[in-house]
């Protein structure tokens, strides 16, 4: 993997997944989307997709052999998911805090206002997934957005988004650098 030079002020990227249990319920899906926006994440890319079991197995291969692996693979392939690339100064930690603990019982008691505390059903059907490190974020983003170049994004889009102004396009579902109009001649 090539090293990507980033300024100390650079935005950080993370992968955020909305799992089939939430995508199946439009009100929950919209509530999670609104939490992303209200927590000032920039949505860099988004897509909805149906995952095949082979894709799930490959993505979760680090858990192969654990008691929940097959259940997780079956669940993640059971319906559409929404994938986001999110950007923020501390995107990974902020998204993980917003999601809440993985175990729904713990989330309901320790972080009841978190996404998992509010909407999670079980430890597998816990509404969301998020990268746990910069390395996993890069790997996971590449798995869901194979045409996305992290290096090109840091070179071309990130500086514009960081400097602002930024606007959200509901039609495209992403944030863009706002076009500044040149003053009109009098």
The answer to whether the annotation marks 19 as part of a ligand binding site is yes
Q: Are 28 and 121 in contact, with CB atoms under 8 Å apart? A: no
The answer to whether the annotation marks 126 as part of a ligand binding site is yes
The answer to whether the annotation marks 180 as part of a ligand binding site is no
Nearest to 91 by CA among 130, 135, 148: 130
- Partners of 128 in the β-ladder: 18
DSSP one-letter string for 9-32: TPPEEEEEEE-HHHHTSHHHHHHH
Does residue 129 have an active-site annotation?
Answer: yes
Q: Are 103 and 122 in contact, with CB atoms under 8 Å apart? A: no
Q: Of 25, 33, 63, 129, which residue is the catalytic one? A: 129
Angle at the Cα of 130 from the Cα atoms of 74 and 57, rounded to 5 degrees: 30
144: Cβ contacts below 8 Å, ≥ 6 apart: 15, 17, 47, 49, 83
Residue ranges for the binding site? 19, 68, 96, 102, 116, 126
Residues recognised as catalytic: 129
Residue ranges for the binding site for ATP? 19, 68, 96, 102, 116, 126
């Amino acid at each position: 993997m090539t090293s990507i030079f980033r300024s100390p002020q650079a935005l950080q990227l993370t992968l955020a997944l909305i799992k089939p249990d939430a995508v199946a319920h439009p009100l929950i899906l919209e509530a999670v989307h609104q939490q992303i926006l209200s927590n000032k994440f920039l949505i860099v890319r988004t897509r909805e997709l149906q995952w095949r079991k082979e894709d799930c197995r490959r993505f979760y291969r680090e858990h192969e052999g654990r008691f929940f692996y097959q259940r997780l693979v079956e669940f993640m392939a059971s319906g559409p998911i929404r994938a986001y690339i999110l950007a923020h100064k501390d995107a990974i930690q902020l998204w993980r805090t917003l999601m809440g603990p993985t175990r729904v019982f713990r989330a309901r008691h320790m972080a009841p206002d978190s996404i998992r505390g509010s909407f999670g059903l079980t430890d597998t059907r816990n509404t969301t997934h998020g990268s746990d490190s910069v390395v996993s974020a890069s790997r996971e983003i590449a798995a869901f957005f194979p045409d996305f170049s992290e290096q090109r994004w840091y070179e071309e889009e990130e500086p514009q988004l960081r400097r602002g102004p930024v606007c959200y396009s509901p039609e495209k579902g992403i944030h863009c650098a706002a076009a500044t109009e040149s003053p009109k001649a009098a």
